[in-house]
Structure 1
Amino acid sequence: MSKKLYPLKFEPIYQYRLWGGRRLEHWLSKPLPKNEPIGEAWLLSDRKEYANKVTDGFLKGKTITELMHKYHDELMGLNTDQIERFPLLLKFLDCHEVLSVQVHPSDDQTDYIPEGDTGKTEAWVVLETADDSIIYSGLIKGTTKEDLRDGIKNNMVSEKIHRFIPKIDDAVFIQSGTVHTLGGAVVFEIQENSDVTFRLYDWDRNDPKTGKPRELQVEKAIACIDYHQVEIGPVIPLKSSEDKNTELLFDNDHFKLWRIQSDAPVEVGFINGPAVLVCLGGEGEITYQSKTYSLVKGEVMLLPAVVGQLVLDPKLKISLLQIAIPKKKPINQS
């Protein structure tokens, strides 16, 4: 009898970033590397250089990449035909200092995307703020390519970008082509499984590890900007008419994301498609085929399509994000 897939949890992968801090130790049980700023914890990544490993069960130590090869249909369900690797990259970011001003290409800007990669639409959910928290999202209305070039020349790029002070629980959607950055906050980030970033400006700072400025990609960044993406603010959550504990934050071609806050049992997972649960607070348990799986703050759980819908039973009032992957549209062959 072959072994079956089950609810899967993964070990986070920490990433050095010069703008990072040490606040992710409050969100994850895995100790941070010592004596360096950690800007990112990759929670679920199917990338060649950084693939998360399963933490328990008979698949312990296997990467999401290996699972996508061996259990592709069981994991992805109705998405099987159109998806080869897991299409999302999930992270916690500790933006102790402000990130570079940057832009990501869209999926159809293939001249700017390495082979095998995609464009990058992303979104943030704000988890912690500080006195210096700031989000830059979208250009000031009317800003032109020439305005940006002048801003770079005169160290005034930030004056061309819309900004606001974020609050905890704010949710911000960053469509590909949007000029953006943030600082002074801890956020959850969901994005297309892509690492294509073009830096427009990096605040004239040096990387302490190299003593040199980081590379900019000004021309590529300017070419990929969508000048219609202006003055982006937090989204307005869409409350569920069926479940007062659930609200929809993001719904686009790449991902759907709900926020669930409940002290009563709640249904999670989907029929014929995978679900990802990200616990932001509290704890709960899921029972599947007579075995109990726990979920606590900072953990990510992937429910394979074959697992279907389950009931999550909170032990302490739980706050979590539930993510679905929309079925990919057939590729036009004409």
Structure 2
Amino acid sequence: MSIQMYPLKFEPIYQYRIWGGRKFEHLLSKPLPENEPIGEAWLLSDRKDFSNTVTDGILKNTTLTNLMKDYRYEIMGKLGYHFEKFPLLLKLLDCNEVLSVQVHPSDHQKEYIPHGESGKTEAWIVLETDVNSRIYAGLKKGTTKESLIQSIQDKSVAEQLHSFAPNKGDAVFIQSGTVHTLGGTVVFEVQENSDVTFRLYDWDRIDSKTGKPRDLQVDQALACIDFNQVEIGPVVPVESTDIENAEILFDNNHFKLWRIQSQSEFKVGIQDEPTVLVCTEGSGIITYQDVNYTITKGEVVLLPAIIGVLNFQPENKVTLLQISVPDKK
């Protein structure tokens, strides 16, 4: 089954969250569900329960899951031999209130990962802050399993966590096994394609939809914590040598992310590898086979591997995230 590929834009999927807000109303064009807090907008997801659909072109309304089934090698190129599902999950988070204190398992902790899932390493880029913004990333030095358990019992968990007030543009890497949470901020998140989260503490909140506290998974969380992950702060960007006006924010065995800020034309995409573009400020145009594809603030575009390298022309000053998937093999 063959079809002519093109830059693929996707419809976001909104998710109710007890800690969410309504800020996506000015960040994204898709209307929000009425009268409930929306904490997550899934921008690119290949999950059985939630899979984004293409917004235009001959593949309009096709899910990413079906694209990966029918056009895996066109999408993934040489990485198609290694991945049956798209390996990343991209989101926006509107953390109107602080999330639960949580941890994700690593890929190696198989006993805590459901069949078909992976561990979960993730990273954030701060898009908006307010006076209450706080990122909790890693434990304070000297925190032990025993002191953490005691803090859960006496409701002083925050005192065991390293935290800082983030600034717009900060980039934070959350290795699997790192205790973390955040609040009072909007962030872009890139992560492994996994939904495995263990809650350590939830601030004694009641979910208004159920009238009950949310479930905790304290034993699993404690088992997955890497107590060496302490005092995590923003990463130091590294100037890119392969893209002009770009810096590398994350480069690990799950994802590589460049942040490009430019008013002049530049190259995007990688030959024979998939690339994801996310616009966080401004707008621009990609031209492919004499057709113009516009990307504006809050939108995501997947460049199938078969497309290769394209020109990106900003319509004004643009901030564009380019994300690739490392070849693990």
Give yes or no for the alignment of 1:298 onto 2:272: no
Residue 279 of structure 2 corresponds to which residue in structure 1? 279
Instruction: State the Cα distance separating 1:82 from its structure 2 match.
Output: 1.1
Residue 317 of structure 1 corresponds to which residue in structure 2? 317
Q: Tell me which amino acid in the other structure corresponds to 1:94.
A: D
Q: Deviations over 1:146-170 (max 9, x none)?
A: 0110000100111101000000000
Q: Deviations over 1:285-333 (max 9, x none)?
A: 111111111111110000000000000001111111000000122xxxx
Residue 7 of structure 1 corresponds to which residue in structure 2? 7
Give me the whole-angstrom Cα distance separating, in 1, the residues matched to 2:218 and 2:3: 51
Instruction: State the Cα distance separating 1:2 from its structure 2 match.
Output: 4.6
Aligned length: 329
Give me the whole-angstrom Cα distance separating, in 2, the residues matched to 1:10 and 1:241: 30
Instruction: State the Cα distance separating 1:3 from its structure 2 match.
Output: 2.7
What SS is found at the alignment partner of 1:126? strand
Give me the whole-angstrom Cα distance separating, in 2, the residues matched to 1:297 and 1:196: 29
Instruction: State the Cα distance separating 1:245 from its structure 2 match.
Output: 1.2
Any conservation in 1 of the 2:243–2:266 contact (CA below 8 Å)?
A: no
Give yes or no for the alignment of 1:224 onto 2:224: yes
Residue 182 of structure 1 corresponds to which residue in structure 2? 182
Q: Tell me which amino acid in the other structure corresponds to 2:157.
A: V
Give me the whole-angstrom Cα distance separating, in 2, the residues matched to 1:224 and 1:117: 15
Give me the whole-angstrom Cα distance separating, in 2, the residues matched to 1:76 and 1:318: 26
Q: Deviations over 1:261-294 (max 9, x none)?
A: 1110010000110000000011111111111111
Please identify, of 76-85 and 209-218, the stretch whose mean Cα deviation from structure 2 is larger. Answer: 76-85
TM-score normalized with structure 1 length:
0.97
Give me the whole-angstrom Cα distance separating, in 2, the residues matched to 1:203 and 1:16: 18
Q: Tell me which amino acid in the other structure corresponds to 2:90.
A: L
What SS is found at the alignment partner of 1:210? coil
Instruction: State the Cα distance separating 1:25 from its structure 2 match.
Output: 1.3
Residue 51 of structure 2 corresponds to which residue in structure 1? 51
What SS is found at the alignment partner of 1:6? coil
Q: Tell me which amino acid in the other structure corresponds to 1:42.
A: W
Where do 5+ consecutive residues of structure 1 fail to align?
A: 330-334
Give me the whole-angstrom Cα distance separating, in 1, the residues matched to 2:32 and 2:241: 41
Q: Tell me which amino acid in the other structure corresponds to 1:76.
A: M
Please identify, of 39-48 and 314-323, the stretch whose mean Cα deviation from structure 2 is larger. Answer: 314-323
TM-score normalized with structure 2 length:
0.99
Identity %: 65
Give yes or no for the alignment of 1:256 onto 2:264: no
Where do 5+ consecutive residues of structure 2 fail to align?
A: none
Residue 165 of structure 2 corresponds to which residue in structure 1? 165
Instruction: State the Cα distance separating 1:14 from its structure 2 match.
Output: 0.2
Instruction: State the Cα distance separating 1:244 from its structure 2 match.
Output: 4.8
Residue 202 of structure 2 corresponds to which residue in structure 1? 202
